[in-house]
Amino acid sequence: MERFIITILCFIALTACSNTDNESKEDILSGVWNVQNISGGFVGMDQDFEEETITWTFNADNSTLTVVNNNVLVDVIYDGLDTGSYPYTIIEVDNERFLEIDGQEFGGILFTNGQLLLDQNKISTGSGADGFILLFKLEID
């Protein structure tokens, strides 16, 4: 009987433990990013944007990307995503990272000279063609 009670107590102790993480989740994209330039595409676009014209805010706590797109230039072929909130995830394949937005792979994640580069020609299954390259700068408070 004593053995049975010890077994039950051990079972309860093991199953009662929880692995809750009260610290906020962080990822490599967390923060507010300003779109500086978008280039590429079939027509070879190369468009600079003023700071705070288009911002992408990545919140790792709830895996949400909030886009504010204030672009009013009419001759711009592509300016990224429309204003709104989107779920996102970071996919890692062979030590490379890729961004998935709203269930669709968006492109490869690269960091260069303190800037974020999202390359739509680089996808987890290989190379794409005629995609856009978005260059971002992290907003410092």
Residues 6+ apart with CB under 8 A from 75: none
Reported as a single tens digit per residue, the pLDDT across 114-141 is 899 999 999 998 887 889 999 999 998 7
Three-state secondary structure call for residue 49:
coil
Taking CA 29 as the corner, what is the angle to CA 25 and CA 34, rounded to the nearest 5 degrees? Answer: 135
Residue 15 has pLDDT above 70, yes or no: no
Task: Please identify which residue in the block is written with the tokens 């062979």.
Answer: 94
* pTM listed for this prediction: 0.79
Sign of the dihedral through C-alpha 80, 116, 53, 48: negative
Cα 9 to its chain centre, rounded Å, is: 44
